[in-house]
Amino acid sequence: MNESLLQSLDMGTEGLITLFLGFGAATLSLLFWKLSRAQSTNRL
């Protein structure tokens, strides 16, 4: 019982970390894209 609970908890944490990392990467790429677009419009 305790082992399975720990295993499911570990799986949940793994999923959360993956979600968090994916969200962070998406936010960073979006920020970078907006910054590069702003810079290109400033140059023109």
Q: Report the C-alpha gap between 8 and 22 in whole angstroms.
A: 21
pLDDT score for 1? 67
pLDDT computed for residue 14 by the predictor: 92
Any idea where the domains of the chain sit in the sequence? 1-44
Using alpha carbons, list the distances in angstroms from residue 5 to 9, 20, 38, 43: 6, 22, 49, 57
Q: What is the pTM of this model?
A: 0.58
Helices (H), the chain: 2-43
Closest Cα to residue 35, out of 27, 1, 24? 27
At 1 the three-state DSSP class reads: coil
pLDDT (tens digit per residue) in 1-44:
688 888 888 889 999 999 999 999 999 999 999 999 988 887 66
